[in-house]
Amino acid sequence: MTRFLTRAGVLLTTFAVLVACSGNNGGNEEANATKSPTATNNGNETADENKEPVKFSISMRTLNVAYVEKHPDINEDKYVKKLEEMTNADLDIRLIPHNEYQDKMVQMFATNDIPDVVQGSGGLSGAELAGAVANGVFLPLNDLLEEHGQDLLKFIPEEAWARMTDSITGNIYGIPEILSNPSRRATWIRTDLLEKVGKDIPTTVEETMEVLRAFKEIGVEQPFAGRQNFKYSDTFFGAYDVFGYLNQFKLFPDGQVKPSFFDTENMKKAIQVYKTMYDEGLISKEFATVESTDFRSNITSGKVGMWSMNANELPIWGAQLKSNVPEAEIALIPSPVGTDGKGGYAHYNPVTRSFYINAEAKDKAADIVKFFNWMVSEEAELFFSFGIEGEDYQVVNGEPKFEVPTDTEGTDKLRYLNYWLWMVQDTTYNKMVSSLSDSGLQMIDAFDNMLSKEGRRGIEFDPRLDALIQNPDLTPKSDEMPPLVLEKVLRIVYGKDSVDSFDDVLEEYLSKGGNDVIKEATERYNSKENAFE
């Protein structure tokens, strides 16, 4: 590679060899059927041919997974049928649209149309659960896990179980899907474009802006990919450590715990970056209305030069881009740093999804726990990694041989299996699939040696602060600022207000309940009451 790819400290993942490695997979590379260190045959109560399948309904967010959202009937999908066969279950999956998730969940609880199993998006106090735990909607799982979920208890770390546990009663209410590496999102760049403009890998905000300007000069339609509410386009808020999300409270020098956007000096710097990008055409003029589907399409069709996305999507998104733009090459690079010499994205909490059992399903709860316990078995890992034996992969001399797909249909199916249908796993990356190609191994290296060293940690309160619950306009999401603040930031970026007017929204924030938020946050932090750092 040319000099710009070898700059010190830069860890790259290119896709120049992706298709070749994938295509040769059946010839020289064998699947490494890595055994889960915590999955044992002892607690894995598999299908009993003499027992009727356990029938249960389960609500699941579509998560913008194309295979799911395009499927005419996910319950008739062959992989769902195979899962049912392997677990002696009869599933009734009820899909909840990704972009309507919170509203649909609240509606579900309001109408009392609650399935046997409910998928949540994190801890017990998530807004999507609408207070269901406190209202006794779900079963305590402690005894059921002890009897039927020993593999789950071994596999899932204590910090994840803490998010599923009522701190007052000690009851465990949810089964979590986990994330062992909290630094999940990465900065991606088209290195073929970088080589074309003769630039080095940027490391600072200023260098990044120069690269984006160079991309624009050569006709890149969207030098930087923007998205609605700055989701997956919050790179520069990270550079200045001012995300302001649910888990991004900070202890300030005055001894108070506040949302990070109260660091007004750095917040204004971050906003100015986005305003400059908007003014200079380095980001789409319509970025504030771009939703997830269009965001992905813009990137994989070759319209974008730089963007943010979960690093574990690298093999799939990269293959799709390569299919559409054969000359394209991608790198995961260290995120641009701000004034403190740091950068990266907001760290995730250790729970990515969670599953709760309806108290009305008590008679089938034991079998449901067995179903989830199977998810951490070796059999499950093989199925969710490669699919159906004899159809998706072959076993040769006792070893599975799998060819990593590079076409859109194949990669969509793989994402469905690896990510969506596998309900309880470590979602950092799929080791079995990633280990099959050089690009996948480089992705693993990126997680272990680059992403683990960047990102922004903050203070998170779970259950949420009462003051936030009482003031929806002040309530941030896991990756969005509070509506009141977000609206102001967008007005500034679009040129309707000045950057210095950001001070005004902080005054409004305080007057509309923000003082109560800060008071409660400070008290809970000092008393260590469900405050996570």
Angle at 76 between CA 70 and CA 77, to 5 degrees: 60
CB neighbours of residue 92 within 10 Å: 13
Q: How high is the pLDDT of residue 122?
A: 79
Burial of 483 (0-12, 13-18, 19+ CB in 10 A): middle
What domains sit in the chain, N to C, each tagged with a CATH number?
Answer: 3-22+183-333 (3.40.190.10), 38-180+351-429 (3.40.190.10), 460-532 (no CATH)
Query: Is the separation of the CB atoms in 328 and 322 below 8 Å?
Result: yes
Cα→Cα distances 117→81, 160, 322, 417, Å: 18, 19, 39, 20
How far apart CA 353 and CA 119 sit, in angstroms, is 7
**Residues in contact with 453: Cβ distance below 8 Å, sequence separation at least 6, in sequence order:** none
Of 201, 192, 181, 194, nearest to 445 (Cα)? 181
Query: Is the separation of the CB atoms in 486 and 229 below 8 Å?
Result: yes
The single residue listed with the structure tokens 């199993």 is 117
Q: How high is the pLDDT of residue 23?
A: 34
How far apart CA 241 and CA 210 sit, in angstroms, is 21
Q: How high is the pLDDT of residue 378?
A: 97
Q: Which residues pair with 54 in a beta bridge?
A: 89
Q: Which two tokens stand for residue 160?
A: 């994840």
How far apart CA 159 and CA 349 sit, in angstroms, is 9
Q: How high is the pLDDT of residue 533?
A: 86
Q: How high is the pLDDT of residue 49?
A: 57
pLDDT tens, per residue, the chain with 533 residues: 333 333 333 333 333 333 333 333 333 333 333 333 333 444 444 445 578 999 999 999 999 999 999 999 999 999 999 999 999 999 999 999 999 999 999 999 999 999 999 999 978 878 789 889 989 999 999 999 999 999 999 999 999 999 999 988 999 999 999 999 999 999 999 999 999 999 999 999 999 999 999 999 999 999 999 999 999 999 999 999 999 999 999 999 999 999 999 999 999 999 999 999 999 999 999 999 999 999 999 999 999 999 999 998 888 898 899 999 999 999 999 999 999 999 999 999 899 999 999 999 999 999 999 999 999 999 999 999 999 999 999 999 999 999 999 888 999 999 999 999 999 999 999 999 999 977 788 889 899 999 999 999 999 998 889 999 999 999 999 899 999 999 999 999 999 999 999 999 999 999 999 999 999 999 999 998 888 88
518 sits in which H/E element: helix 515-526
